[in-house]
Every structure is written in C-alpha cells, then in structure tokens.
Structure 1
Amino acid sequence: MLEAVVRNGVHILVFASAGGVLYGNVWELAGEEHPAVPVSPYGISKLTGEMYLRF
C-alpha cells in the first residue's frame, strides 16, 4: 500500500491507530510526542506501521 501511495503521488494519508496499544495505560492525554510503549504484539505492529509512514 505504501508503495502505491508513493507511486501515485498521494500527499495526504490518514492512518488510524489506537492510542491504548501504543502508549500503554496513560492517565493523561497522550499526544504524538508522548513516548510509545506498546503493550502487545498488536501495538508493536501499529507502531511499526507509523514508523514506515514517517520514513
């Protein structure tokens, strides 16, 4: 999918993710600058997807 995005010149991509699986049990509002601490293999896969998108 990411290769198709690049090949077709897409400039905006919405990537939905779940904060609970990326940031653990956070008792405050966690933004993108909050350190990611995945709590499961699913959370690791979501974080990996985000890292590919940033790359």
Structure 2
Amino acid sequence: SNLAYEMTAELCGTDDAKWAEATVAVKQALQARINLWDGILEGIKAMFAHPVG
C-alpha cells in the first residue's frame, strides 16, 4: 500500500542497507503468509479427503 511505502521510506530514508533489510523482511513476511494459507488449504483438503463420521 502507499501508506506502507511512505512509512518504510520515512524509516529507511536514503540508507541502502536499511532498504535491503526491509526488502528481506517483506519477502520473509510474504513467504510466511503464503505458508500459512498453504497450510490452511492442506487442512481443508485433508478434511474433505477423510470426512469425520
């Protein structure tokens, strides 16, 4: 979002090392979100593959 970019720009300024660190953090956060939703999907698939009752 634009607000997130503005906040990051305020925190990192012109420091390339801070921008690089922020980029790594964003990639890790996005991967964690992907992993979360992939896990949820696998759980749903398992429920339908082996219904209870």
Choose 1 or 2 for highest CA Rg.
2
Q: More helix by proportion, 1 or 2?
A: 2
Q: Which has the higher contact order (CA 8 A, sep 6+)?
A: 1
Question: Normalized against structure 1, the TM-score is what?
Answer: 0.33
